[in-house]
Structure 1
Amino acid sequence: MSSLSHRGREARIVIVGAGFAGLSAAETLVKAGFQNVQVLEAMGRLGGRIHTTRPFSENIIELGANWIHGQKGNPLFQLAQEHGLLSEGDSARIMCQPHSVTSHDYFFREDGTQIPTEDVDEVCCFFRQLTSRAFESELEERHNGLSFGGYLDSAFSESPLATLNDGPKVFEWCKRIECTDEASSSLYDVSVSQLGFYIALEGGFFNCLGPGGYQALLDLLLKSLPPEAVLKNQAVETVQWDLKAEEQGQEQWCPVRVVCENGESYEADHVIVTVSLGVLKERARTMFTPALPKSKLCAVERLGFGTVDKIYLQFSERFWPEDCAGIQLVWNQGPEDKDVYSCDCEGESWKDTWFKKICGFDTVARHPTVLCGWITGREALYMESLKDSEVRDVCVRLLKSFTGWSVPEVSRVLVSRWGHDPYVCGSYTFIPPGVNAVREHEALAAPLPAESRYPKRKPLQVLFAGEATHVNFYTTTHGAYLSGVREAQRLISHYTDKTMNSSECT
């Protein structure tokens, strides 16, 4: 019979970060019987890259993560389903598929004319076929050494669709949309050969949450924790680990010490670090004493971490048709075009056309007069530096020039700024060309020190969780959640008494 040892119940565990990774780790530990679990959150709110807010009405807006990706094997989908937190009905289905072209999407050329849906669908269908081959590791040998963008360009150039008048322009739109999935400035920054390690779970790719949004799922996790277990406004400055001291002539291992920016400190037997890869890129070399091993620092450096932002516009009245689920912008020459990207990547001229990275404006569930624009990469970071009013004016100009419709006054604008958030520094992970995804994800997830490699050292002093540490589910909320459970289970296994009772021996 296996049970948590007394030493385990008394073990002090500090968790850095109260996103899905940190809260799932805390919940798992508390349910297993650990009695000293403390979660430290740098922000004044909980959730990390989950940010459910109500700026326009009593209905929610998601500034961060929007959907649950997949169903089978997805613990967040199962949790939402069990507690009745999912949206239902046709309207929810439409709102949950912003990156899937349907008859409800209106595509406009730069000259203000509309592209027939059947023409758009033909190109988008081919684009989905190409991306599916990449994610299912069905690439031809000649494509393996290319970037994601290079592979797509090569395959598309051989298609008859490349000769159609709108074909290349719609294909560029598809690439811009894919950038929001990859959180990259360009698909030329993403490895195509490593995409196959990402696993898309079965079921609807976009599963919408109901009126409570992602906050309702966070609340379920928080209910299982003692109120005092989670502290806000506790930004961690340093994690001091692998420390030794002399006591009565003998060398003793000291507890791990977590020091916050406000001067408060916490001693622990184990610390689970769940900060984003973006934060690690900024602070990995200064946040830990002694320094992290080279393998982990290299993983932090080699993995990509990009920014995806949203621009919410609330209008005084609805001006788009009832059957319109999105206004998509198709440029004559977009920022994802290889020649344009190659010319601009070293210069600053792209800042003059940052708005070309906005794919379009989608309708928002339960908000009849709100549109949401998506922007990613370096253009998103530049947009974050602008005033809300300037972003608003540019978006209104785009809507007017592309559609030719009469666009009413914007009553309110809400812009996310994940790239400049000091406690996030971006949105989620991608794999650059030349990077071994499995090796770097595993190096990032490796605990310090590992039990088996360093038997004389105090084991599992610092553990790591978060979407960037998951080989197959990086970028996703369920990847973050499962990584927290993984590290909690690592500690549970470490403290479990594996003894058998007499009945099991006979």
Structure 2
Amino acid sequence: MERHKSNHSNHKVVIIGAGMAGIKCAIDLAKNGVEDTIILEASDRIGGRLETLKTPDGLVCDLGASWFHDSLTNPIFNKVLDDKRIKYFVDDKENLFYSENEAKIDQWRFREVLEEIMAYGEVHGIGSEKDYSVAGLCSMYDANRGRFTADDRKQLAFGAMRQLAELWNGTHWDNISAKYCFEGLGHTGRNMLLTSGYESVLREEIGELPPNYEAGKIKLNSRVSAINYEDTDKVKVESENGHVYVCDYVVVTVPHTILKLSDPKDPCYLQWEPPLPPTFAAGLSKTEYGSLGKVVFEFDACFWHENIGRFYALATKEPSNMDLPQPWEYPIIFLNYQLISNKPALVALTQEPLSTYLESLVTSKEVEIWRLFEPLISKISHVSPTPRPKRIYNSSWRSKKHIRGTYAYPARGKGDPEAIITLLEKSFDTRIRFAGAESVRGSANGCVHGAWMSGSREAQFILSYLK
């Protein structure tokens, strides 16, 4: 991608962000005759929240989005279904639940109680104005209905509830709204885990752009610092390096974590002129991003059950010190890559605040990560002592300054999360459009295909006006 040669240029459409939404928007515009577009990307790479790890031993896994969700209705999956270059694993194999005290937990012991807690929330209180956290819902259920359930089954159900809420939303269950957490829970069709990595899908999409578009019209390290829409005709988009792009339309795909910034001193602050309408700014201020992190443990050989798809480690205690986590304080899901792609590796899913703690580690990083996870991995090990990993990798979504999280979650006390979607869909100016995974409704929200669909939606909106 080439650097700018002048400080001023004119375009039909400026797209901010080179993630899936931005790429898809440019593709659909080009296919319908609008090739005078340009994509401005703040970071030094294409992909946004897509990032594929490839290790020296041939392990391929994603540190960001990993699945084709909604496989029955997912337009990207249906598009690449027979593409031999895109490889995936049907993620519907046997799972194992366990804890610090039990090597195997049968799901019947907590499944019905877990479902009853959700139903209790729908019947009592969650429909009212008061909003409980998911942790608060469990406490309320325990106080009012707990006497009907044996303590061991009840505690397992609470542990399963915590795991479901935290590793679905990427944050601690105290932060998550019980009122909205379970709306749209689940997907249409089985999940397909990418074994060729989402990079392979992204490259296929980029291949649909006009020739030389990637080299000439995707500008990396081009953070947008200001958007001026005072003129009733043209919009001016200014990058941090001083280049001004004058356009008819701008499509904004930056994460809400950046859009909602209100401190001009923040290095990623985006200035609007005139300022965003109060209702729009207020809606953005209510959005919160979790951080669903990944930790990859690569071993010399497999020493766990090869045919188990996922290992669900239930937490047995609450965090005692947020600044110094201990083993078993957070629920963890381990993906078994021995089964998934015949590689002796386990990939752990983590949540806030654990994800941020792991990202902050510098000195003795691998030693500290192994201290936290070794007791959990030892519980599923067939050998003693548990072999140490030869490599450990972890994601860094919270600390990436242009992203600062993975996806939005329904925060307790912040109201209906669909409200911001309505604002993004309608926008406040026909020349300024918003796309991204969090700008769509239903189970596609927060997913790669949701981002793809939003990019297509905004391209069609612009095309309808150009006609």
Q: For this structure pair, what is the TM-score category when the shorter chain's length is used for normalisation?
A: 0.7 to 0.9
Matched, 1:267 2:246: yes
Question: Which residue of 1 is the match for residue 296 of structure 2?
Answer: 312
Note the C-alpha offset of 1:383. 1.9
Give deviations 1:216-240, integer Å, cap 9, x for gaps: 2212221111233542423323233
Task: Please state if 1:466 is matched with 2:436.
Answer: yes
What's the counterpart of residue 294 of structure 1?
A: 278
**Conservation of the 8 A alpha-carbon contact between 2:333 and 2:348:** yes
* Alignment correspondent of 1:30: 30
- 2:109 matched to 1:122? yes
Kept in 2, the 8 Å contact 1:463–1:487? The answer is yes
What is the rounded CA distance, in whole Å, between the counterparts of 2:60 and 2:96 in structure 1?
23
Equivalent in the alignment of 1:476: 447
What does residue 208 of structure 1 align with? 193
Of 350, 370, 379, the match for 1:393: 370
Structure 1 residues 429 and 83, CA gap change in structure 2 (3 angstroms): same
The answer to whether the 8 Å contact 1:74/1:201 transfers is no
Q: Does 1:443 align with 2:423?
A: yes
Partner of 1:179: 166
Question: Partner of 1:241 in structure 2?
Answer: 228
- Segments of 5+ residues of structure 1 without an aligned counterpart are 1-9, 245-252, 336-343, 450-459, 497-506
Aligned-residue offset at 1:171 = 2.9
2:323 aligns with: 351
Deviation sequence 1:385-441 (CA, Å, 0-9, x none): 113324432245324664574211211111001000012110001122341223222
Please state if 1:219 is matched with 2:203: yes
Tell me the CA shift for residue 266 of structure 1: 2.1
- Whether the 8 Å contact between 1:170 and 1:330 is mirrored in structure 2 is no
Judge conservation of contact 2:280–2:423 (CA < 8 Å) in 1.
yes
With over 3 angstroms needed to count, the CA separation of the structure-2 counterparts of 1:196 and 1:394, relative to structure 1, is closer
Larger proportion of helix: 1
Contact persistence 1:273–1:464 (CA under 8 A): yes
1:366 aligns with 2:349: no
Q: 1:254 Cα shift?
A: 5.8
Which deviates more from structure 2 when the two are superposed, residues 466-475 or residues 138-147?
138-147
Deviation at 1:128, TM superposition (A): 5.1
How far off is 1:305 after superposition?
1.1
Q: Distance in 2 between matches of 1:220 and 1:176?
A: 34
Taking structure 2 as the reference length, what is the TM-score of the superposition?
A: 0.84
Q: CA deviation at 1:371?
A: 0.8
1:123-144: CA deviations, max 9, x gaps? Answer: 145425655x59xxx9214332
Change (3 A) 1:129 1:28: farther
State the percentage of identical aligned residues.
21
CA distance in 2, matches of 1:288, 1:169: 48
Q: Residues 109 and 156 of structure 2 are in contact (CA less than 8 Å); yes or no, is this contact kept in structure 1?
A: no
Amino acid at match of 1:311: V
What's the CA shift for 1:66? Answer: 0.8
Q: Do the aligned residues in 2 keep the contact of 1:16 with 1:272 (CA within 8 Å)?
A: yes
1:378 aligns with 2:349: no
Residue 4 of structure 2: aligned partner: none
1:334 equivalent to 2:334? Answer no
State whether residues 169 and 331 of structure 1, in contact with CA within 8 Å, keep that contact through their aligned partners in structure 2: no
| Matched positions, count | 437
How far did residue 467 of structure 1 move? 1.7
Note the residue ranges of structure 2 that are not aligned, 5 or more in a row.
1-9
* Distance of 2:343 and 2:115 partners within structure 1: 30
TM-superposed deviation, 1:284: 8.2
CA contact (8 A) 1:73 1:201 kept: no
Could you state the TM-score of these two structures normalised by the residue count of structure 1? 0.78
The DSSP-based 3-state class of the residue aligned with 1:48 is: coil
Q: What displacement does 1:181 show?
A: 0.8
Contact 1:241 1:462 in 2 (8 A): no
For the residues of structure 2 that align with 1:21 and 1:284, how far apart are their CA atoms?
26
Residues of 2 paired with 1:299 and 1:221: CA distance? Answer: 32
SS at 1:168's partner residue?
Answer: helix
**Contact residue 45 and residue 232 of structure 1 kept, 8 A:** no
Distance 1:87 1:163 in 2: 45
**Alpha carbon RMSD of aligned pairs, Å?**
2.9
Q: For residues 298-340 of structure 1, give each alpha carbon's deviation from its aligned partner in whole angstroms, at most 9, with x where no partner exists.
A: 11110221111011011122221333444443343234xxxxx
Q: SS at the partner of 1:266? A: strand
One-letter code aligned to 1:366: S
1:423 equivalenced with 2:408 (yes/no): no
Task: Report SS of the residue matched to 1:21.
Answer: helix
Q: Structure 2 vs 1, CA of residues 470 and 292 (structure 1 numbering), >3 Å: closer, same or farther?
A: same
